[in-house]
């Protein structure tokens, strides 16, 4: 990973309690988040059912076709590559999921664009956001700019190979220090 690809942020923020939500695996359905407080509430509820040492979220725009191709083509591979080390989160349309339609990155785009604005990452898309606590500002993001879907696949493989070399240390800290 080159230094230009990894970026760090750690602004302090407070977290408040939220309501209950319904989640399955690493998918969430019809997520409606419009500000940081709603993001923190959603995250707190999501994390209750999904306890991992690291989380990942792919953020991109409609123009990032290689990122979309990667997300759609390699969704199962990404779960295998990341294993128990990371939960990648996909934001799905509930109606499409009920019809057993395959994941389409377009479902996620509308929601992730809002998240990119809330997290002040709009000007750095496309990227993979890695974090332990979403909404706290403590995260590492990996730039996917100008990468083909094959390059992204290789890069993600290298990241998790690197993380597995020191399983006793925090994955987020490892990413931050690499």
pLDDT tens by residue, 150-176: 999 999 999 999 888 887 788 988 888
Residue 88 class from Cβ within 10 Å (0-12 exposed, 13-18 middle, 19+ buried)? buried
Categorize the per-residue pLDDT at 31 as very low, low, confident or very high, splitting at 50, 70 and 90: low
- Of the candidates 86, 68, 74, the one whose C-alpha atom is nearest the C-alpha of residue 140 is 86
What is d(CA 4, CA 71) in angstroms, rounded to the nearest whole number? 22
What is d(CA 1, CA 51) in angstroms, rounded to the nearest whole number? 26
pLDDT tens by residue, 105-118: 887 787 788 888 88
Q: Domain 6-177 classified CATH 1.20.120? A: no
> Does the pTM of the predicted model rise above 0.85?
no
Question: Can you give the residue ranges of every domain in the chain?
Answer: 6-177
């Amino acid at each position: 990973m080159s230094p230009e690809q990894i970026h760090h942020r750690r602004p302090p923020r407070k977290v408040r309690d939220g309501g209950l939500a319904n989640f399955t695996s690493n998918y969430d359905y019809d997520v409606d988040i419009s500000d940081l407080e709603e993001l923190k509430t959603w995250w707190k509820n999501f994390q209750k059912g999904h306890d991992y040492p690291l989380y990942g979220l792919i953020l991109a725009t409609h123009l990032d076709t290689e990122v979309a191709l990667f997300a759609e083509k390699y969704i199962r591979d990404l779960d295998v590559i990341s294993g128990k080390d990371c939960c990648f989160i996909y934001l799905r349309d509930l109606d499409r999921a009920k019809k057993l339609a395959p994941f389409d990155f377009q479902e996620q785009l509308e929601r992730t664009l809002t998240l990119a604005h809330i997290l002040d990452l709009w000007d750095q898309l496309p990227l993979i956001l890695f974090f332990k606590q979403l909404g706290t500002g403590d995260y590492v993001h990996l730039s996917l700019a100008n990468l083909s879907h094959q390059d992204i696949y290789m890069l993600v493989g290298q990241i998790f190979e690197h993380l597995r070399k020191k399983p006793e240390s925090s994955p987020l800290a490892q990413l931050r220090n690499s």
